[in-house]
Structure 1
Amino acid sequence: MRGLGKKRRTGRSVTVGLSVATLAAALAAAVPARAHEPSHEQVRTPHWAVKDTGTDARFRGLAAVSRNSAWVAGSKGTVLRTTDGGAHWRDVSPPGAADLEFRDVEAFDARRAVVLAIGEGEASRVLRTEDGGATWTESFRNTDAKAFYDCLTFFDPRHGLAMSDPVDGRFRILSTGDGGRSWKVLPSRGMPAAQEGEAGFAASGQCLVTSGPRDVWLATGGAANARVLHSADRGLTWTATDTPVPAGDPARGVFALAFRDRAHGLAVGGDYRADQASPRASAVTADGGRTWTTADRPVPAYRSGVTWLPHSRTSALAVGPTGTDLTTDGGRTWRTLDTGSYDTVDCTPDLGCWASGEKGRVARLER
């Protein structure tokens, strides 16, 4: 969206013997522990450990590969990569990209990744690396002045999609079948008409997400209703469903989605303006997005990123400029764990959870 400025991997566990259930329980206990327990007890609760990236770029794009490996992409054409848990970051920014705004990155492993630059016309581009960022190849450059690409996602290492704000009244979908080496615009006949003013939010790389080999969901805002669009055939045909997340303004709507399978999903968003409240800013679905229900206790403020804890049916994290929230009941209720500013969040099967945001801020969940 003009104006605003998914992933499954393997590796070591967050801590030896710490199961997903134990992690969720420890996170849930972190709030009272931090408020009332002595400082030596606080250290042992899961918390975001901020890593020094050596830059002030804003990282709205994040791809967690494992507990040790992650990619971030952001402003001023910046792309960083770590393979040692964030102790060191290698600047692997594409040459000549300083004027680009990267808002999404999808990584297949520690060496292969695809990044999306946003903007009107030729500012929207896709670049790919196969050697850890030592070299990059531009595989797509938008030539339609009416298109503005927001998000990127992959079903597997070969098949992926990117989405643009509506062109001629419909969201535009870009498709790849060779890991991002080449792209084609899909026919628009299977896409429902967009509402007046409807668009996606390039806030966290999570306005377009997948689960499984064929299902993909697209989040919208800015129009009368905040909607989620779903495709079960890799973007050829779509259905649209209204959500209870407030919209009706260019700054409001659904900003991020997360699906743990093809049925159970979370939506977060709100109003990204700091001086505006964001009531009913999270919703849940148990039928693949055909219906959405407002959380009983929603996230307390605007949130731009969300992810399920790996291997969990009930626990997830949401992040935004004013904090991180946890749910342990599938998104029905949320509680704040941390008040640090983050734009996006991602977890891996080895329980490596990462978050990133403004002023070069990147953190890993540690205990």
Structure 2
Amino acid sequence: MKHLALFMAFISCIFVCRAQHIKILTSNDKVSLRGLSVVNDNVIWASGSKGQVARSTDGGKSFEWLTVKNYEQRDFRDIEAFDAGTAVIIAVDSPALILKTKDGGKTWLPVFRDDRPGMFLDAMSFTEDGNGIVVGDPIDNRLFIGMTTNYGDKWLPLKETDNEYVAANGEAFFASSGTNIKLRGNKNHPFIYFVTGGIDSRLFVNGSPAGLNIIHGSGSTGANSVDVDPTMKKIAIVGGDYTNDTLTKNNIEIFTIDGERLLQAPVQTPPHGYRSCVTFLTPNVLITCGTSGVDVSMDGGLNWKLISGESFHVCAKAKKGKAVFLAGKDGRIATVLN
């Protein structure tokens, strides 16, 4: 057992050392990227400010930068891609918009619009069978929830009589990486996880809320991102205070799932500052990023090592593959070399 433990520590060290090599693949100093979707090791989509979408079909060797016609001033904070030709994007602020392309980004058609004052879409998530959810800031004190069952072709908001998601005072979502919500399972048995921030910060699991220890109490604090491990036995949540992005206190929570119980895991070494996105690479290996750097964990999120001080908003692993990418300010898209 001693030899096995030493061997596993050695393997972990190799991974962490290799993961220090973050390679910038493309950049655009006029764009901030916060949406990222990696279909497989070759197909990568990213979205951001000034109506910009970036797309690669060769694993990041080259990127095509696309301007969404008639929406050049919109900020697309999240994107979900299904293949090399099909993707949906959400535009923050009002009017709330969801657009879809089926021709590789050449044309985009609106599939959802809401002109109500205060509408602000934040993030969306899909399962493999086309079941999807989009969340937005509160309207009339209820968190906005919209659903689709056909890969985003049509969206149906929850009616007020069906919407049990009542927001606390000053509670909302962060549109920092498009990852404050995670949809798992399938159309018949969906599992919905999302996190809020602001004056209050909570985790919702299939409608049931639980308070978080993530720092909160002001508009710049709270949980920003949630992910669930592939076995659906662990939940990772990151956040912090984006106005104090080197603060390490109360910027992460790790839970294990025991039936319907959530058991808090004891984080010993937290990420090195505010983090806007977290992603499980395996049930025990995670990556998280924010404006003050990138961290990895090899033990299920209990201990984190800073591998880069570069700023990124979002990280993602290929849905079908092993490649890991990051995106952020100045239109930078990078890969993590293993």
Considering the TM-score relative to the shorter chain, is it more than 0.5? yes
Answer yes or no: is the 8 Å Cα contact 2:100–2:111 preserved in 1: yes
Match of 1:356 among 323, 327, 338: 327
Match of 2:104 in 1: 132
Residue among 191, 196, 205 paired with 2:164: 191
Q: Give the gaps of 5 or more residues in structure 2.
A: 1-8
User: 2:257 matched to 1:257?
Assistant: no
Contact kept, 8 Å, 2:28 with 2:330, in 1: the verdict is no
Match of 1:57 among 28, 31, 37: 31
Distance 1:97 1:297 in 2: 43
Aligned to 1:282: 252
Alpha-carbon separation, structure 2, partners of 1:47 and 1:326: 12
**Separation (CA, whole Å) in 2 of partners of 1:324 and 1:23:** 20
Instruction: Provide the residue aligned with 2:14 in structure 1.
Output: 26
Q: 1 or 2 for the larger relative contact order (CA 8 Å, sep ≥6)? A: 1
Identity %: 29
Corresponding position of 2:66: 92
Does 2:313 align with 1:343? yes
Match of 1:217 in 2: 193
- Is it true that 1:267 corresponds to 2:267 in the alignment? no
- 1:160-239 matches, cutoff 5 A: 160-188=132-160, 189-213=162-186, 214-223=190-199, 225-231=200-206, 238-239=207-208
C-alpha distance in 2 between matches for 1:201 and 1:360? 20
TM-superposed CA distance for 1:55, in Å, is 5.0
Structure 2 Cα separation of the partners of residues 332 and 175 of structure 1: 34
Judged with a 3 Å threshold, the aligned counterparts in structure 2 of structure 1 residues 155 and 339 are, in CA distance, closer, same or farther, namely same
The structure-2 alpha-carbon separation of the partners of 1:109 and 1:148, relative to structure 1 and needing over 3 Å to count, comes to same
Correspondence list, 1:94-113, <5 A? 94-113=68-87
* Preserved CA contact (<8 Å) 2:245 2:292: no
C-alpha contact (below 8 Å) 1:243/1:293 kept by paired residues: no
Specify the SS of the correspondent of 2:14: helix
Query: How far apart in 2 are the matches of 1:315 and 1:351?
Result: 12
Asked whether the 8 Å contact 1:27–1:326 carries over to 2, the reply is no
The Cα of 1:94 is off from its aligned counterpart by 1.7
Number of residues of Structure 1 aligned to a counterpart in Structure 2: 323
- Counterpart-to-counterpart distance in 2, 1:337 and 1:91: 28
Question: 1:158 and 1:217 mapped to 2: Cα distance?
Answer: 17
Displacement of 1:255: 0.3
In structure 1, the gaps of 5 or more residues are 1-20, 31-43, 232-237
Residues 132, 183 of structure 2: 8 Å contact kept: no
Amino acid at match of 2:174: F
When residues 25 and 347 of structure 1 are mapped into structure 2, their CA distance, relative to the original with a 3 A threshold, is farther
Deviates most, 179-188 or 283-292: 283-292
Q: Tell me what 1:15 maps to.
A: none
- Residue type of the alignment partner of 2:309: T
Cα deviation, 1:90-140, whole Å, max 9, x if unaligned, reads: 123321111100000011111111111101x31x21011111112211111
RMSD over aligned CA atoms reads 2.1
Aligned mates of 1:175, 1:253 — CA distance in 2: 25
The 3 A distance-change label for structure 1 pair 46 and 337 is closer
Q: What code does the residue aligned with 2:209 have?
A: A
Partner of 1:299: 271
C-alpha contact (below 8 Å) 1:68/1:82 kept by paired residues: yes
Residues 64 and 332 (structure 1), Cα distance of their counterparts in 2 relative to 1, 3 Å cut: same
Separation of aligned partners in 1, 2:82 and 2:108:
15
Matches within 5 A, 1:43-82: 47-82=21-56
Relative distance call for 1:251 and 1:46 in structure 2 (3 A) is closer
Q: Summarize the Cα distance change of 1:221–1:183 in structure 2 as closer, same or farther, 3 Å threshold.
A: same
Q: Take 1:168 and 1:262, find their aligned partners in 2: how far apart are those partners? A: 33
